[in-house]
Amino acid sequence: MKLYEMKIAPNPRRVRIFLAEKGIAVETVEVDLAKGEHMSEAFKAKNPMRKVPVLELDDGTCISETMAICRYFEELQPDPPLMGETPLEKAQIEMWQRQMEFYFMLPTGMCFQHTSGYFSAIRKTFPEWGERNREDVEKFFHYLNRHFAENTYVAGEKFTVADITALCALDFSKVNNVRIQPEQEHLARWYEAVNSRPSAKA
Amino acid sequence: MKLYEMKIAPNPRRVRIFLAEKGIAVETVEVDLAKGEHMSEAFKAKNPMRKVPVLELDDGTCISETMAICRYFEELQPDPPLMGETPLEKAQIEMWQRQMEFYFMLPTGMCFQHTSGYFSAIRKTFPEWGERNREDVEKFFHYLNRHFAENTYVAGEKFTVADITALCALDFSKVNNVRIQPEQEHLARWYEAVNSRPSAKA
């Protein structure tokens, strides 16, 4: 089994942290997006969307999409549970995970893509749209701060995959110069808690 | 149990089709976004993101996010399976579902939000960004057509939740005037197959 990834990219990091929490070791293969290695026909055959991460099984079957890869390992090795155990827990954790994905990771990525210049040689960017996304992420930090005033972790009292998405989105947002503000003490408390877990270094 | 939704919106439709495939009946409550009913404090308490659908359980617990609601019902009543049975199937169906969501439903929504004028009174729109998304969706139709030349359904030989997302995205894309082209015969074959299931009318 091999995990095609890129060390500095936020989505592969989600998988690495997930695996570290589970105590699962997987061989990794670095794909350098800056050098266009994801544009090769060989990589396109693994994921037509040309994105990392991709998990390749020993028979050549490829699974792309961060959360699909996490789901695979959760089903293979449910312990420790990161996606819930009961129907209600599974639904609630998926709800929170998606909230972190659609309202935090996604606009952070949009801001980076459209304001950093990193992708401007490849495709036309829309800087004003990127700025809008930056504002949305800044507002989301306030929302998260209020959330963590009443909740230990994203989905409540247990560390879950939703915390992994939020942690990776928060660290990613630093490239957009969006940071925890001095008055966001609850968000800072949560960040310190999840960022000091050994898995955060994965 | 109550499902807060909006009949004409694409995401609530995904849940209705999912429930119809499972043979589960749930009371629905219409939330009129055009009248701003999702902006009330009462609705915000159900979903701080102010989006439909939201599933409210009898004890008042609320689950938002389309796929989280579907997950809840899949776990409560696995038959017929729409999200896979083995770890590999579950991962692959999640992969395909997310591909339909991120590369089809999401840009379709972006195009609608930024080019239709439907939301321009509420928030500044970026029409050029909307047009880029229209082009991406048009390209995705070609990709899907090639995919269906070799696959009966989105995730292979079985109808799954990934087909539900794709069907709702395809019908939604009509508002952007993106339609199946005459030469896209494989996509047309798939559409006819999924759109003629009784659940498509849910």
B109, two tokens: 């929504």
A126 CB near a chain B CB, below 8 Å?
yes
Measured CA to CA, the distance from residue B47 to residue B63 in angstroms comes to 8
Measured CA to CA, the distance from residue B186 to residue B151 in angstroms comes to 9
| HSE-CB of B134 using CA atoms within 13 angstroms | 18
Measured CA to CA, the distance from residue B54 to residue B47 in angstroms comes to 7
Residue B126 has pLDDT above 90, yes or no: yes
> Can you count the helices (H) and strands (E) in chain A?
8, 4
pLDDT of residue A120: 76
H-state helical runs in B10-126 = 10-22, 41-46, 66-76, 87-100, 106-115
Measured CA to CA, the distance from residue B58 to residue B77 in angstroms comes to 18
Measured CA to CA, the distance from residue A162 to residue B65 in angstroms comes to 14
- Cβ neighbours, 10 Å, residue A122: 11
Residue B120 has pLDDT above 80, yes or no: no
Bridge partners of residue A55, in order along the sequence: A3, A63
pLDDT, averaged per 10 consecutive residues of chain A (202 residues), comes to 97 98 98 89 95 98 98 98 98 98 98 89 91 98 98 98 98 98 98 98 96
**pLDDT averaged over every residue in chain B:** 96
Q: Residue B65: its chain A contacts at CB < 8 A? A: 94-95, 98-99
Measured CA to CA, the distance from residue A149 to residue B142 in angstroms comes to 48
**Contact at 8 Å (CB) between A3 and A55?**
yes
Q: What are phi and psi of A189, to 5 degrees?
A: -60, -45
pLDDT of residue A142: 98
pLDDT of residue B23: 98
**Contact at 8 Å (CB) between A77 and A24?**
yes
B77 CB near a chain A CB, below 8 Å?
no
Interchain pair A92, B128: CB under 8 A: no
First to last CA, chain A: 18
Q: What are phi and psi of A175, to 5 degrees?
A: -65, -25
B40, two tokens: 């009330």
Indicate the DSSP class of residue B28.
Answer: E
H-state helical runs in A104-158 = 106-115, 127-150
Q: Residue A98: its chain B contacts at CB < 8 A? A: 65, 67-68
pLDDT of residue A106: 98
Nearest-neighbour CA in chain A from B177: distance (Å): 23
The mean pLDDT of B9-18, rounded to a whole number, is 98
- Structure confidence at residue B33 as a pLDDT band (50, 70, 90): confident
pLDDT of residue A74: 98
Write out pLDDT tens, residues B145-192.
999 999 999 999 999 999 999 999 999 999 999 999 999 999 999 999
CB burial string B123-152: b at 16+ within 10 A, e below: eebbeebbebbbebbbebbeebbebbeeee
Bridge partners of residue B63, in order along the sequence: B55
Quick check: helix, strand or coil at residue B125? Answer: coil
The owner of tokens 């930024």 is B114
Q: How far is CA A200 from CA A6, A76, A168, B33, in A?
A: 16, 22, 9, 40
The mean pLDDT of B6-31, rounded to a whole number, is 97
Share of chain B above pLDDT 90, in %: 93
Q: Residue A48: its chain B contacts at CB < 8 A? A: 143
Q: Which of B65, B87, B95 sits opposite A64 (nearest CB)?
A: B95
Measured CA to CA, the distance from residue B127 to residue A147 in angstroms comes to 33
DSSP A82-98: SS-SSHHHHHHHHHHHH
**Contact at 8 Å (CB) between A129 and B129?**
yes
Domains and CATH numbers, chain A: 2-76 (3.40.30.10), 87-201 (1.20.1050.10)
The owner of tokens 């794709």 is B166
pLDDT of residue B122: 80
- Structure confidence at residue B97 as a pLDDT band (50, 70, 90): very high
